[in-house]
Amino acid sequence: METKRKKWWFYGAFGAVLLGSGLSLAIESSWWKHSEMPDWYWITGGTAGLGLCLSGVVLLIKAGIINNELKK
C-alpha cells in the first residue's frame, strides 16, 4: 500500500511538471517560429515540447489509475 502511494505521488508530481514544461516549450517554440530564429531551433523545441507534454499526460493517467486502485 505504501509503495503504491509513493508511486502515485511521483507520477502525479512529475507528470504535472512535464505537462507544464512541455506546454510552455511548445508555446515558446511557436513564438520562435515567427521571430528571427533559425528553423531547426523552433522545430526541435516544438518537438521536444510535444514529447514532454505527452509524457506528462501519460504519467498523470498512470497516477489516476493508481489512485483508483488505492480507493478500492
Q: What is the pLDDT along the chain (72 residues), one digit of tens a residue?
A: 688 889 999 999 999 999 999 999 999 999 999 998 899 999 999 999 999 999 999 999 999 999 999 888
Are the C-beta atoms of residues 22 and 55 closer than 8 Å to each other? yes
Spans of all domains in the chain: 1-71
What global pTM score does this model have? 0.87
Q: So what's the pLDDT on residue 67?
A: 93
Alpha-carbon span 35 to 6, nearest angstrom: 43
Closest CA to 7 of 72, 65, 71: 65
- Residue 65: CB partners within 8 Å, gap ≥ 6? none
